[in-house]
Structure 1
Amino acid sequence: MIFEGEKQEWLLFKERDLSVRVFEANNTYEAYATVAGKGTHVARGHEKWTTISEAIEGIIQK
């Protein structure tokens, strides 16, 4: 993880085998979207939900 002392929030969508981890530090967000068998996509940004959406869209396109 790039953030030390980060605040972590987990969002878990079991019905689609999708898990999203979100880290926040200094008004910057880093979201990791993981789907079993597809891997992980990382997105970084300043808006929480936009960053989460970008991570999910990235893993879906793999």
Structure 2
Amino acid sequence: MPDTYRITVTTKSGETHEGLMNRSQPEVVNGFIGIARGDGGWVYLAPDDVLKMEYVPEQTEQTDKE
């Protein structure tokens, strides 16, 4: 099972928020959906404002050791 996911959230107003999340990060905080941004900041969305959420496993590079 992958540890890192690319999350894309579309709000009812048409805004799209995208970021990377790992399984240890909270998805819902005090009733709000937290999205980690690429610049290190976070945006929190009210669940009523969210139209669609998509989690896609992020491909990680694996090194082969022989």
Specify the TM-score bucket, using the shorter chain as the normaliser: 0.3 to 0.5
- TM (norm. structure 1) is 0.34
Q: Which has the higher Rg, Structure 1 or Structure 2?
A: 2
- The structure, 1 or 2, with the larger RCO (C-alpha pairs under 8 Å, 6+ apart) is 2
Give the structure with the larger helix fraction.
Answer: 1
- TM (norm. structure 2) is 0.32
